[in-house]
Amino acid sequence: MGGSEAAAAIAHRIRDRGPITVAEFMSIALYHPEHGYYASRSKRTGRFGDFHTSVDAGPLFGRLLARQFAEMWQVLAAPGGDMPPEPGFDLVEAAAADGQLARDVLDAAADESPAFLDAIRLHLVEASPAARARHRDTLGSHAACLTSSSARLPDAVHGVIYANELLDALPVHAVIGTPSGLAERYVALAPEGHSEAPVFVEQAGPPSNPAIGRHLASLGVTLETGQRAEVNLSALAWLTRACSSLHRGFLVLIDYGYQAGQLYSPAHGTGTLAAVAQHVTLPSGGRATPWLDDPGSRDITSHVDLTSVRHVAEALGCEALGLLDQTYFLMALAGQDADGAPRLPADMKTRQTFKTLVLPGGLGSTMKVMVFGRQVGRPRLTGLTGASRLT
């Protein structure tokens, strides 16, 4: 459900206004309030969904994050300096889905740091109305911690804003290098054929927004003829909002991507825009633009420009404290015993889950952790004390 209706909505928009940007196509395909992928798919992740996230591995991911968040709470609660201690702690999850990760964090806080749990003012930010409606049920006994469930970030945050796999799913502008300079790739309707369903195709045109060219120029990027890439202005706009909302505390972003020099290199000359369905990253049959097929029925994603994320955050007063593979972040939070093994329960299930979260070549090296601080100095954070490697 959702796919055919989203396709019809996109086709109507094109017939009414002409070809649309890839960003507008993604906005409808993913975020239409009724027919978009994130609104209409009841199960997006896990074994019966379309892709796996760290949350799907089990509650251990949330437990390890809870240790870092509790330490961040201690930083804000400690007296000293010019900043008074904060009496409460805003824990803000962006792209919270049904709230399962927050539930795992709160369960861990209840076990390991009850005082931290008592200080938490939980805010779950989620675009899907259907997912927001499940927040209290998912939180269960922790529902009293929920201060807000909304599509927007709170205006003033004293604590932590965190997001797991948000930026990669925001709408992007798709561009291509041409002999005459930068062009943008638009989505148009194919000529009417025998198919009753609309068929979408790409066509090139001038950039829809001068900010696209300025952004690439600021990175020193010039695309070669035929080279494709994406510019995620939506991610930078979200980051601007997050940094403005964070009055004091930390911003923790976990996502996949590359530094700009790698992302915009000829090695990624076909771009990173992809569709994901039933745990398969398309194309599987050679189509260059599989993300145009069946909008609303599958995820659409692109890799994050880590360099631009850092530049924007620092320009807005959020200091970069760490950028590293998830492997090293979680290993530091797990700690090590005298033999160098992680300090975790000895049961096989927990150990297997940890391996899934940190294994290089999988979630461990694919996912990058970015930690920023605002008006907190440079505290010693456990998650950043291990090997700070970025692969």
> Both 133 and 252 in a single domain?
yes
Q: Give the model's pLDDT for residue 266.
A: 92
First-to-last alpha carbon distance for the chain, in angstroms, is 38
Residue 161: inside a domain: yes
Residue 217: inside a domain: yes
pLDDT digits (tens, 9 = 90+) for 220-261: 999 999 999 999 999 999 999 999 999 999 999 999 999 999
Q: Give the model's pLDDT for residue 144.
A: 97
Sequential DSSP letters for 7-68:
HHHHHHHHHHH-SEEHHHHHHHHHH-TTTSHHHH-S--BSTTSSB--GGGG-THHHHHHHHH
pLDDT exceeds 90 at position 185 = yes
Residue 391: inside a domain: no
Instruction: Domain of residue 323: give its range.
Output: 54-170+234-256+303-384
d(CA 106, CA 122): 9
Sequential DSSP letters for 111-160:
HH-HHHHHHEEEEEE-S-HHHHTTHHHHHGGGGGGEEEEESS--SSEEEE
Q: Give the model's pLDDT for residue 308.
A: 97
> Both 21 and 166 in a single domain?
no
Say if residue 283 is preceded by a cis peptide, omega within 30 of 0. Answer: yes
- 3-state helix vs strand vs coil in the chain, percent to 5: 40, 25, 35
CA angle at 298 for the pair 94 and 22, rounded to the nearest 5°: 80
> Both 249 and 348 in a single domain?
yes
> Both 239 and 95 in a single domain?
yes
> Both 64 and 24 in a single domain?
no
Q: Which pTM value belongs to this model?
A: 0.92
pLDDT digits (tens, 9 = 90+) for 289-322: 889 998 988 889 999 999 999 999 999 999 999 9
Number of domains in the chain: 2
Beta bridge partners of residue 66, listed in sequence order: none
> Both 31 and 149 in a single domain?
no
What CATH number does residue 93 fall under? 3.40.50.12710
* Residues in CB range of 282: below 8 A, 6 or more apart: 274, 275, 276, 290, 291, 293, 298
342 backbone dihedrals φ, ψ, rounded to 5°: -65, 140
> Both 361 and 241 in a single domain?
yes
Residue 45: inside a domain: no
Residue 340: inside a domain: yes
**Last residue of some domain: 246, 275, 301?**
301
**Last residue of some domain: 245, 279, 301?**
301
Instruction: Indicate the pLDDT class of residue 65, thresholds 50, 70 and 90.
Output: very high
Residue 205: inside a domain: yes
d(CA 39, CA 382): 36
> Both 101 and 128 in a single domain?
yes
d(CA 55, CA 334): 16
> Both 343 and 329 in a single domain?
yes
Residue 16: inside a domain: yes
> Both 310 and 322 in a single domain?
yes
d(CA 260, CA 264): 6
pLDDT exceeds 60 at position 194 = no
Q: Give the model's pLDDT for residue 1.
A: 39
> Both 340 and 193 in a single domain?
no
Q: Give the model's pLDDT for residue 286.
A: 46
> Both 319 and 284 in a single domain?
no
Mean pLDDT for the chain? 90
Residue 15: inside a domain: yes
